[in-house]
Amino acid sequence: MDFNHVINQRRAVNFFDTTQEIPEALIHQVIDMASKTPSSFNLQPWSLMALTHIEDKLRLQRHAMNQPKVSEAPVTFVVLGDRKGWTDENPFVERAFQEMIKTGAATDESRNWFSGARKKLYGGDEETQLAFACKNAGFFSMSLMLAAKSLGLDTHPMDGFDQAAVKKEFSIPDHYWIPVLIAMGYFDQTKVLSPPKWRKSVDDILVRFES
Amino acid sequence: MDFNHVINQRRAVNFFDTTQEIPEALIHQVIDMASKTPSSFNLQPWSLMALTHIEDKLRLQRHAMNQPKVSEAPVTFVVLGDRKGWTDENPFVERAFQEMIKTGAATDESRNWFSGARKKLYGGDEETQLAFACKNAGFFSMSLMLAAKSLGLDTHPMDGFDQAAVKKEFSIPDHYWIPVLIAMGYFDQTKVLSPPKWRKSVDDILVRFES
């Protein structure tokens, strides 16, 4: 599907067709496309819980202002950003480093440099670690929503949930932050899609602060 | 350009062709496409500084580990996420509300509800406000990089900069957070693009924590 169509036609849909499942292979295809997202040092500090069973979706819905779309969508993703996704202890960090060695982007001697750079950029304080998790997981979430649309699927990103309660409900370790929930499925064609929302103009977006 | 091609061919390029400018209209087209990005309550808490003059780009480069691409790219964006982009005082919040009224998604009577919901979801503490800014600006940044690619442009997202120093240099108000810098231009065809980087597999990305 043409990119211009994808970005212009993607809409947050409130109503999902509850009779249409998404084959697992298609869910995986969406995630695989989104996996191409760039990230800080290629650390990819994101994970997904993909809830497809009704019991799981209802467990989530209870902590998400009881929004029906959480369980009506065939799959609802809990997006996770890893605040510790830059540390020496994180297995994907070592993996990223080994892959850098393989491609010649690093040598075993640059291990200390790599560790120091990660600590300096992302490990400064709690704020920096949270920003690292949310920025990168934000990149990934956007790719996921666009990838879904390009494959004929609709999504709805949701902020209306209790962060602490969802983490507790699903035993999510504390170093993760949940930046967003994303319901994914097919728009219920018996409903009317609301008109496209207002967007800031290019002139609204561009700023300078110097006098 | 086909979405699948865009997401698979987008690469963070280190070397930009310094002889090729980007017409202002094309820069605006990229931003306009990215403006379709979804956001919390459609608040769009993002802004961009688009640096095209060499003096400005060199001012930025000094606070960005002196990375040459900051000034070699025809335009380098400073992406801003607004930690106060949910408050009653923010002019775009009122604008979003007025647009909701226009489309029937809200009435004047729902003003208090809207204000309360924003405060509850985003105003809880410093952490929540930062997550709000970085997540949404992350969405926007990803759209921007993909939009650029779809229009034949290359980008490079950068974390290697001094947040406080960049804010001071350009008099950026403190309620903004800079999640990323993005250099944009045309890949220098005299250079060799490094091979695509390793990515986590779908199985790596999907997680559950319950026993």
- Please give the mean pLDDT across all residues of chain B: 96
Q: Is the pLDDT of residue A195 over 90?
A: no
In order of start, what are the domains of chain A with their CATH numbers?
Answer: 3-205 (3.40.109.10)
CB contact under 8 A, B142 and A139: yes
Distance (Å) of CA B148 to CA A117, B1, B154: 28, 11, 6
Task: Give the per-residue pLDDT at A143.
Answer: 98
Angle at CA of residue B201, ends B200 and B202, nearest 5°: 125
Q: Grade residue A104 by pLDDT with cuts at 50, 70 and 90.
A: confident
* Mean pLDDT of all residues in A70-98: 97
Give A-chain residues touching B3 at CB under 8 angstroms.
1-3, 6, 146-147, 150
CB contact under 8 A, A172 and B7: no
Task: Give the per-residue pLDDT at A116.
Answer: 96
Between CA B138 and CA B118 the distance in angstroms is: 19
Task: Give the per-residue pLDDT at B57.
Answer: 98
What is the amino acid identity at position B170? F
- The two structure tokens encoding residue B78: 């400073």
User: pLDDT tens-digit profile of B69-88?
Assistant: 999 999 999 999 999 999 99
Of chain B, the percentage scoring pLDDT greater than 70 comes to: 100
Of the candidates B56, B83, B80, the one whose C-alpha atom is nearest the C-alpha of residue B167 is B80
Q: Is the pLDDT of residue A77 over 90?
A: yes
* Mean pLDDT of all residues in A128-151: 98
The side-by-side arrangement of strands in the sheet containing A154-158 is: A46-51, A75-82, A176-185, A154-158
Distance (Å) of CA B68 to CA B18, B48, B141: 11, 20, 21
Task: Give the per-residue pLDDT at A194.
Answer: 86
> Alpha-carbon Rg of chain A, whole angstroms?
19
Task: Tell me if A38 sits within 8 A of B157, measured CB to CB.
Answer: yes
Task: Give the per-residue pLDDT at B105.
Answer: 86
Q: Grade residue B55 by pLDDT with cuts at 50, 70 and 90.
A: very high
Q: Is the pLDDT of residue A148 over 80?
A: yes
Of the candidates A36, A32, A54, A52, the one whose C-alpha atom is nearest the C-alpha of residue A44 is A36
Which of B36, B83, B127, B154 is the best mutation test for A, with the most CBs of A within 10 A?
B36
Of the candidates A132, A144, A142, A140, the one whose C-alpha atom is nearest the C-alpha of residue A176 is A132
Q: Grade residue B194 by pLDDT with cuts at 50, 70 and 90.
A: confident
Secondary element (H or E) of residue A48: strand A46-51
Between CA A147 and CA A30 the distance in angstroms is: 6
How many CB atoms lie under 10 A from the CB of residue B102? 11
CB contact under 8 A, A209 and B173: yes
Between CA A154 and CA A186 the distance in angstroms is: 5
Chain A to chain B Cβ contacts (< 8 Å): 212
CB contact under 8 A, B202 and A142: no
CB contact under 8 A, A202 and B150: no
CB contact under 8 A, A142 and B139: yes
**Could you tell me if the ipTM is greater than 0.90?**
yes
- Please give the mean pLDDT across all residues of chain A: 96
Q: Is the pLDDT of residue A118 over 80?
A: yes
User: pLDDT tens-digit profile of B106-157?
Assistant: 998 999 999 999 999 999 899 999 999 999 999 999 999 999 999 999 999 9
Give B-chain residues touching A77 at CB under 8 angstroms.
none
